[in-house]
Amino acid sequence: MTASGPILHVVQHLQPGGLEVMALELARAQSARHPAKVLSLEGDMESALAAWPRLAAQRDILLFAGKRPGLDPVLPLRLARLFRQLRPACVHTHHIGPLLYAGAAARLAGVRRRIHTEHDAWHLKDPRRRKVAKLAVALAHPIMVADAPNVAEAVAEALGGPLPRTILNGVDVDRFTPGDRAAARAALGFALDMPVIGVAARLETVKGVDIAIRAHAAMRRPALLAITGGGSQEAALRQLAQACGAAERVRFLGLTDDMLHFYRALDVLCLASRAEGLPLSLLEAQASGVPVVAANVGGVAAAVCPQSGRLVAAEDVAGFAAALDAALDSPGPSPRDFVLRTGSLAASAAAYLELALG
């Protein structure tokens, strides 16, 4: 197939999440040099826009495949027909589901450039998932990329192939910048006389928001814990805050599209995940001048400024409490320069463009 169409990023769904944000941001950044679109296997435009308002700004580049629930054996054939119509310069899949369906379809349709990015590797510990991943790679035969060095090593070990290339995730450093903390706190209704610790994560068990709540309750210094995100564990997490005696100092903000003001209002960002790839929230916060305290899992270490950030063992509530106290006592230098050097969206988009266009 002669490449004349867009770079096509394929995700499982367009629900709020770091992987989905990364695909949207890559498409936006790449569009300055070559057209790019984002294809969601699941869902439809109307429901996606209703659930995630930020998609409205990019609705012109969004496509939906309408995948059926469960295994959808005819989806690769439908995607192959779509690819023959779009004539994409490259099909870039994100995570195993899109690789299995869209990667195979791209090869069937004769799309010569196929890229697959693994954004974490913890799921490959499961034998069944590992078997599916090996099948998907064999069918699609893509250029393999990982978003952090440890993810690349884990993918190579699990799948038995060569070491994938590493392209670190990046964020828009022109958008995420330091700003007026008092004004940001006023906009969010936060008190000006108490430190603010932020959590930006889906409210699901894997994100360890429960650990952050327990650590916050165990801190020496009083602080407000501001949590942005939605998920199935919200009610349980609210109950946990109540049980810890800290409900009056824990704010659940729901989904927050204005993340810039959220980060600017913080003294420190806490990410206590049980498993991760390379989280965008850490890069966004640090680009905004906010130090971070994070669980040392997955690719997190590659996203934390060594001068101002603090890494804590997963599940270590006492360790998180101590690290958060220390971060408030001695915040260290601004981590923004670290992100400018290692985590910019422009650098990430350029590296992927080189692979996509040759």
pLDDT digits (tens, 9 = 90+) for 195-206: 999 999 999 999
Query: C-alpha angle with apex 66: 52 to 119, nearest 5 degrees?
Result: 60
- Tokens at residue 217, please? 């309750």
Average pLDDT score, the chain: 95
What pLDDT score does 122 carry? Answer: 81
What pLDDT score does 123 carry? Answer: 83
Instruction: Report whether CATH 3.40.50.2000 matches the domain 7-170+344-357.
Output: yes
Residue matched to tokens 């995607």: 79
- Tokens at residue 268, please? 């420190």
What pLDDT score does 12 carry? Answer: 97
What pLDDT score does 3 carry? Answer: 61
Instruction: Determine the Cα–Cα distance for residues 313 and 58; give it in Å rounded to an integer.
Output: 38
| Strand, coil or helix: 45 | helix
The percent of residues in the chain predicted with pLDDT above 70, rounded, is: 99
pLDDT tens digit sequence for 226-277: 999 999 999 999 999 999 999 999 999 998 878 999 999 999 999 999 999 8
Instruction: Report whether CATH 3.40.50.2000 matches the domain 181-342.
Output: yes
Average pLDDT of the residues in 110-127: 91
pTM, whole model, 2 decimals? 0.90
The percent of residues in the chain predicted with pLDDT above 90, rounded, is: 88
Task: Give span(s): CATH 3.40.50.2000, the chain.
Answer: 7-170+344-357, 181-342
Instruction: Determine the Cα–Cα distance for residues 284 and 160; give it in Å rounded to an integer.
Output: 34
Nearest to 317 by CA among 214, 240, 243, 229: 214
Q: Are 127 and 158 in contact (CB under 8 A)?
A: no
pLDDT tens digit sequence for 5-60: 999 999 999 998 889 999 999 999 999 999 999 999 999 999 999 999 999 999 99
Whether the pLDDT of residue 1 is over 70: the answer is no
Range scoring the smallest mean pLDDT among 43-52, 116-125, 325-334: 116-125
Average pLDDT of the residues in 54-73: 94
18-47 b/e (C-beta count within 10 Å ≥ 16 → b)? bbbbbbbbbbbbbbeeeebbbbbbbbeeee
What pLDDT score does 277 carry? Answer: 86
| Strand, coil or helix: 320 | helix
**Cross-strand pairs, 171:** 344
What number of other Cβ atoms are within 10 A of residue 126's Cβ?
Answer: 12
82 burial via Cβ count (<10 Å: 0-12, 13-18, 19+): middle
